[in-house]
Amino acid sequence: MKRKNKTRNIVLGVTGSIAAYKAAELVRLMKGRGWDVRVVMTRSAVEFVSELTFRTLSQHPVGVEMFGNFDEWMPGHISSADWADAVVIAPCTANVIAKIAHGLADDLLTCTVLATEAPVLVAPAMNVKMWNNPATQANIKIIKSCGISVIDPGTGDLACGYQGKGRMAPLEKIMSAVEISRKGLKRRSR
């Protein structure tokens, strides 16, 4: 399905990390570039930032529930997957990375990722021990092998009181990665 407009359609996935508050600013930056942004949140993300915040900033309803009310006849994960020029998950928890790596689709966000052919970019955010865990590193390798771009987390003070790698990448780095996907990456093939 080809669109004639040149608007960049971004599905922004927000998962249950303290870094979820930074995703609100990410929406603002994307909108500032003229991109159309629709937010899909996990249930855990709603514990950190409200749907209302993202609905107001994106000017769209926010998807949380797999079987929620949708404006279209098509299931929400399919319409979002088809609409997207890119799916960006920022922050992306170890849990969601593991689900994606193993093809688990038990919520609106993971179903959208599984259904899309658009480029998918993830910006991990977690405790340094979680990031360094061999299971997480194996899952990162798996998602990369599937064509998903991983925007490496930064190093520094973490919300949990630890120091190390695990901070969500700076917003400018995420925006640059999305811009590169816009110019260079083609839709993923199955």
List domains and CATH numbers for the chain. 9-184 (3.40.50.1950)
pLDDT value for 73? 47
Rounded Cα gap, residues 103 and 153, in angstroms:
23
Active site residue 160: yes
Nearest alpha carbon to residue 83 among 5, 189, 180, 177: 5
DSSP-derived letter for residue 63 is: B
Residue 45 structure tokens: 């993300």
Predicted confidence at residue 158, as pLDDT, reads 81
CA gap 133, 70 in Å, rounded: 38
User: Using an 8 Å Cβ cutoff, are 151 and 123 in contact?
Assistant: yes
Tokens of 85: 């020029």
pLDDT value of residue 5? 43
User: Using CA atoms, how far apart are residues 140 and 163, in angstroms rounded to an integer?
Assistant: 21
- Residues in the chain predicted with pLDDT less than 70, given as ranges, are 1-7, 66-77, 182-190
Residue 165 CA: distances (Å) to CA of 44, 70, 130: 22, 38, 10
Closest C-alpha to 59, from 10, 120, 119, 5 = 10
| CB distance 33 to 9 below 8 Å | no
Which pLDDT score, from 0 to 100, does residue 161 have? 84
DSSP letter, residue 129: H
pLDDT score of 189: 45
The pLDDT tens digits of the residues spanning 145-185 come to 999 999 999 999 888 888 889 999 999 999 999 988 766 54
Q: For the chain, what is the largest distance between any 2 Cα atoms, rounded to a whole number of angstroms?
A: 48
- Active-site hit among 92, 111, 146, 160: 160
